[in-house]
Structure 1
Amino acid sequence: MRLLILFLLSLFAAKSWGQGTSGKWYKGNMHTHSYWSDGDDFPEMIMEWYKSNGYDFIALSDHNTLAAGEKWKQIPSHPFRQRRFKAYLEKYGDDWVTYKTDSAGQISVKLKTFAEYKPLFHEDGRFLIMQAEEISDAYEGKPIHMGAINVEELVEPQGGNSVTEVMQNNLDEVYAQRERTGKPMFPHINHPNFRYAIKLEDMIPLKGERFFEVYNGHPEVHNYGDSTAMGMEELWDKLLIHYIKAGKPLLYGLATDDAHHHGEFRVGLSNPGRGWIMVRAKELTPAALIAAMEKGDFYATTGVELREVAFERKKLRIEVKPEAGVSYTIQFWGADKKADGIEQGGELLKEVKGTAGEYKLRKKDLFVRAKVISSKLKENPYKAGDLETAWIQPVTLQ
């Protein structure tokens, strides 16, 4: 397995995005849930929402399961859930929906599998659904969750003797499946601050970790930290310092909605549409999307849309696609090569008011990433008062 990891590290150490890249921006979400685990809706209704709301690709990632085999879901008696079932039945009809009612009047529905519902929505070049899983593991009661995207087979939680070992074992298992099947796929660490389970020191030793959620729309994941725990952006910068100094590839940040509640929309629920990624790829296929992401040719966002991102001639350039009446602040964050990644993390290097900005990396800069903050309030936010924001992946001269 060590040889596999070393191979993957060398494979992923690709040139920075923006250097001769071209393609189209595709909108997608890598983390959401359905009735196959703890979500509150049918896969078809969820796919319909994403497709009709401008998404190009989706990875439905239920806990420790793939949508395969036979699974029946008893519909809760709550009026909302009952109305949702009726809407599902009306939309897809008795020829599609298989259900039964017991002597007590309880309705159970046979859930459609990935193989069954995918053909309803998949369109070459227009809408892509990737099979995924949220590997939900634990150590001493601490939840350790990891996304496994475009997997071919179910990845069973691997366990381990520490938080770090649990994560590493699951990372290795996804990479082993990728090597065995030849299918493009990748793992990512979900919401480290969920119940404050994953700390900086747990992630520093990891090998092969390329992606984590810098933003997650679930109200219980503590994106911003608190007085005793760092937020996701501080964690990101400190991990980058350690990874770069150790000769590891750059760590990239995802935004996801982690939706569980698909019918009722309000602050306090985990709804779709809170966070997503925009990937610049040559085509809408798993291979093209994952290849672009492994080069860092994507950004995470809660609403800000970018017209251009480029890293050429040591310059990181950002151009926003503006909305009328909305103002923007472009920030460039990075770290000095002398930063230790424990006491010293990232710092604000430059700030520009407007729709375009650039930063030229200096010899002393270990890395630089960008963040765009708009003046527009996020509709149905993770936290009341949130502004629409985008996070651009880090670059380095090394």
Structure 2
Amino acid sequence: MVLSAFSTPGRFWRGNLHTHSTLSDGCLEPAEVCRRYKAEGYDFLALTDHFIGAYDYPLSDTKPFRDDGFTTLLGAELHSGAMENGELWHILAVGLPEGFAAPNAPGFHPVDDQETGPELAARARDAGAFVAIAHPHWSGLTLSDARSIEAAHAVEIYNHGCAIGCDREGGGHVLDLLLSEGRDVTLIATDDAHFTEPDHFGGWVMVKAEANTPDLLLQALKQGDFYSSQGPEIRNVTLTTDTIEIESTAASTMILQGHGQAATAIHGASMTRGQIPLHRFRNSPWLRITVVDAAGKRAWTNPFRL
């Protein structure tokens, strides 16, 4: 069996799903943000400004910045209700329709009579968005918080801005616990770029689709036909009866992870192929793969089940 991201028709398109502009707390105009991502070789971008009253609930119209080689997905970072730590929810919604109704979220603090985070996430998903739990480590997310967002398609496993700004980059722990409870969630790497520090071009998704169009990209994201990266490319993943076979650009480590303590790594110099035996994972309800290059940059497959 070949994982769907590598067997479905089409090619991979590189994109960032979490970005800010002067419409909220970023320092560049939307047009310049799009120009820079295109110049850096990205195929698509979701501009996801903070959807709160302090910024007049922006849902940036990036359609004018699309062309034959670059497209955009409409989106926002949604806020409403308090997490267990008393702070406001941050929920990424990519593929929101224009006219999405604003919550009662005047600023970055919870207020009375507003939607909960789970309610807002469900409303965004019902409206057609790809929904992700943003920066769990930075947010101080608890497992109970994560469980409550039943509408989430994905969890941010890497947030470049949080890595650069506060060394709270990841969501792998939360992701793995949800997977072990039976949740079907994928993982994404993002920038969360504001361009106020070197928080850009550090984490992205590689989405498999037959064309670089918003509808097909969004469909592929929801289906899980993508992988995430800081640099390495994953070329193929094949499951046989007894092994996982991985093909990638030059790597120093390939890791197979599963439920609980199940993990096996192989190491080498400039590996482009690797095989990992499955005997340790027979009782694991899920698996995922991390590929690490010589510079320590990682790439991640989405979780899958045997």
Give the TM-score band, short-chain normalised.
Answer: 0.7 to 0.9
Distance 2:166 2:104 in 1: 23
* TM-score between the two structures when normalised by the length of structure 1: 0.65
Structure 1 pair 328/214, CA: closer, same or farther in 2 (3 Å)?
same
Greater mean deviation of Cα atoms: 144-153 or 28-37: 144-153
Distance 1:24 1:313 in 2: 27
- The answer to whether 1:295 aligns with 2:223 is yes
Q: Which residue in the other structure is 1:157 paired with?
A: 103
Distance 2:13 2:230 in 1: 15
Distance 2:173 2:205 in 1: 20
Structure 1 pair 321/137, CA: closer, same or farther in 2 (3 Å)?
same
- The answer on whether the counterparts of 1:155 and 1:173 sit within 8 Å (CA) in structure 2 is no
- The answer on whether the counterparts of 2:5 and 2:224 sit within 8 Å (CA) in structure 1 is no
Q: Deviations over 1:133-188 (max 9, x none)?
A: 11023417413101111111334236899xxx83311121112323xxxxxx2111
- The answer to whether 1:131 aligns with 2:40 is no
Q: Deviations over 1:37-89 (max 9, x none)?
A: 000011111111000111001000000169x99x9xxxxxxxxxxxxxxxxxx
- The answer on whether the counterparts of 2:44 and 2:72 sit within 8 Å (CA) in structure 1 is yes
- The answer to whether 1:329 aligns with 2:253 is yes
- The answer on whether the counterparts of 2:46 and 2:72 sit within 8 Å (CA) in structure 1 is yes
Q: Which residue in the other structure is 1:61 paired with?
A: 48
Q: Which residue in the other structure is 2:180 paired with?
A: 241
Q: Which residue in the other structure is 2:135 paired with?
A: 191
Distance 1:329 1:295 in 2: 27
Q: Secondary structure at the match of 1:214?
A: strand
| Aligned Cα root-mean-square deviation (Å) | 3.1
Q: Deviations over 1:286-339 (max 9, x none)?
A: 2222222223221111111222244566854321123xxxx421111111xxxx
- The answer to whether 1:319 aligns with 2:262 is no
Distance 2:227 2:72 in 1: 20
Distance 2:240 2:7 in 1: 9
Which residue identity does 2:263 align to in structure 1? L
Distance 2:126 2:222 in 1: 17
* TM-score between the two structures when normalised by the length of structure 2: 0.83
Q: Which residue in the other structure is 1:48 paired with?
A: 35
Which residue identity does 1:271 align to in structure 2? D
Distance 2:101 2:290 in 1: 34
Structure 1 pair 200/114, CA: closer, same or farther in 2 (3 Å)?
closer
- The answer to whether 1:223 aligns with 2:157 is no
Q: Which residue in the other structure is 1:207 paired with?
A: 150
Structure 1: gaps spanning 5 or more residues: 1-14, 72-112, 179-184, 225-230, 263-268, 336-344, 377-386
Distance 1:61 1:299 in 2: 20
Which residue identity does 1:375 align to in structure 2? A
- The answer to whether 1:170 aligns with 2:87 is no
Distance 1:147 1:260 in 2: 15
Q: Secondary structure at the match of 1:46?
A: helix
Q: Secondary structure at the match of 1:132?
A: strand
Distance 1:151 1:45 in 2: 22
- The answer on whether the counterparts of 2:5 and 2:226 sit within 8 Å (CA) in structure 1 is no
TM superposition shift of 1:233: 1.8
Distance 2:304 2:104 in 1: 32
Structure 1 pair 127/314, CA: closer, same or farther in 2 (3 Å)?
farther
Q: Secondary structure at the match of 1:142?
A: coil
Distance 1:186 1:369 in 2: 21
Q: Which residue in the other structure is 2:304 paired with?
A: 395
Distance 1:390 1:310 in 2: 16
Distance 2:166 2:96 in 1: 25
- The answer on whether the counterparts of 1:18 and 1:312 sit within 8 Å (CA) in structure 2 is no
Q: Which residue in the other structure is 1:347 paired with?
A: 262
Percent of aligned positions that are identical: 29
TM superposition shift of 1:16: 5.7
Structure 2: gaps spanning 5 or more residues: none
- Greater radius of gyration (CA): 1
